[in-house]
Structure 1
């Protein structure tokens, strides 16, 4: 997964490490090739895409693998964003994003890493979304285990 920010400011937002084309595409219901430019500013992300130019909050985007793990400060920013939106749970696109990332995973190690990350986020994700993610997680684990047994 490739980070997508073109940093503008000298002050970098700590959540900018979670900005990816895939996450933005899920958030805006676009294909990744329909996103032309992502600018990470101090407090907000500016996205230019097919038929759209929009500002996105860093706190709307889900954490990913390949960068440093979420910190207590990150969780506080997500909780604050949820309060602002008057909701208890992360945006629903997080479910689709995580399910897609699990399905793209090619190794059990990667699946386990996603599982560990998602377990840290359980209190941010709705119960229904969490159940769906866990179903996909179990299916992908079984697929990869079966695939690995076939190689031996």
Structure 2
């Protein structure tokens, strides 16, 4: 079942461009298919899924390809969200999200684009996570180039 994105207020938050069913499902630790409606409110998302309804902050979601790249103000929102949660880094699921995107890349060019995006936000990730993502990237690049 496809999620129905609806807008409940205007204007929409600048980070809303990064909201996808996939990233929301990963954050909530549910399957994408369980989400049936997502309401975009000014400062939060209201996610309706099988057996749950949750508010999700736009600032909990990682940047993605296909929309305008993160810019200065976006980093301010993410940093403020991390501070409010008393965390120094982006949510842990961001690392898993990007590792999965590296695995799903169908070309070296697509992998490069995801890698470049991670390079833009790497200062928000723990150093060990960045190293882990570098290893995944190198492995996927090798596979794409040789098979």
State how 1:64-143 maps to structure 2 within 5 Å.
64-143=64-143
TM-score (norm 2): 0.94
CA positional deviation for 1:7: 2.2
Structure 2 counterpart of 1:13: 13
Conserved 8 A contact 1:47-1:56: yes
Output the CA distance in 2 between the equivalents of 1:138 and 1:7: 40
CA positional deviation for 1:4: 7.1
List runs of 5+ in structure 2 lacking aligned partners.
Answer: none
Deviations 1:20-77 (CA, angstroms, capped at 9, x unpaired): 0110011000010011111110010000112110000000000000000001000010
Deviations 1:102-125 (CA, angstroms, capped at 9, x unpaired): 111101111111111000111111
Conserved 8 A contact 2:4-2:36: no
Output the CA distance in 1 between the equivalents of 2:4 and 2:22: 9
Instruction: Give the match's secondary structure for 1:121.
Output: helix
Give the number of aligned pairs. 145
List runs of 5+ in structure 1 lacking aligned partners.
Answer: 148-152
Instruction: Give the match's secondary structure for 1:48.
Output: strand
Instruction: Quote the RMSD (CA, aligned, Å).
Output: 1.4
Deviations 1:116-143 (CA, angstroms, capped at 9, x unpaired): 1000111111122212211111111111
Cα gap change, 1:4 to 1:122, in 2 (>3 Å): farther
Output the CA distance in 1 between the equivalents of 2:71 and 2:118: 14
Instruction: Give the match's secondary structure for 2:141.
Output: helix
Output the CA distance in 1 between the equivalents of 2:36 and 2:115: 31
